[in-house]
Amino acid sequence: MSTNSMPACRSGFTLIEILVVVVIMGILAMIVIPTFGDVTSDSLQSAFVTDIKTFASAEAIYRCKTMSFLEDSSSGVCPAGFEPYIDEDKWEAGTPLGGVWDAELNSFGIISGLGVHFQAGPRKDDAFMIEVDALLDDGDLATGIFRKIADDRYYLIVHN
């Protein structure tokens, strides 16, 4: 008897087996990716709410020490005198939602406010910002302390 009579071992996968695995992975990706997309929106909203609350707390300390509201600043520029109370780089880097941080004084029908100004580029719509409002306030952009004050501006009202 010859030693070569043993059956040959098969190594590797067939093309069909590889295609089946790729199709299964594609189906799983279609299920999982939308879930992560929602998590991303939720995390951006939470980060924005945390940041605006932090800036509002710093503004309250500023107001107590100086007995005045923050000065109106150009969008994306830290208001004069506010630097010791916040991380200026974080203010000037923009919000987690896109857009830039801004302080308003005696404009848009409010005395003082802090918020996001969506200038050129991608912006969040009212539906998205209503979800942010629900985390901060009453879920209505026309009332409460978080409002839409212009077409591209959503602000936490410090003083009305």
Selection from 118, 31, 110 nearest residue 76 by Cα: 118
Distance between CA atoms of residues 28 and 30, nearest Å: 5
153, part of any domain: yes
For the whole model, what pTM was predicted?
A: 0.76
CA dihedral (77, 83, 86, 89) in degrees, to 10, reads 50
Range of the domain at 71: 14-159
Residue 3 has pLDDT above 60, yes or no: no
- Per-residue pLDDT, 134: 96
pLDDT in tens, 61-111: 999 999 999 999 999 999 999 999 999 999 999 999 999 999 999 999 999
Distance between CA atoms of residues 103 and 41, nearest Å: 24
- Per-residue pLDDT, 5: 60
- Per-residue pLDDT, 31: 79
Q: What's the alpha-carbon Rg for the chain, to the nearest Å? A: 26
Mean pLDDT of the chain: 90
Residue 79, judged by CB atoms within 10 A of its CB (0-12, 13-18, 19+), counts as buried
Count of domains observed in the chain: 1
DSSP 3-state assignment of 11? Answer: coil
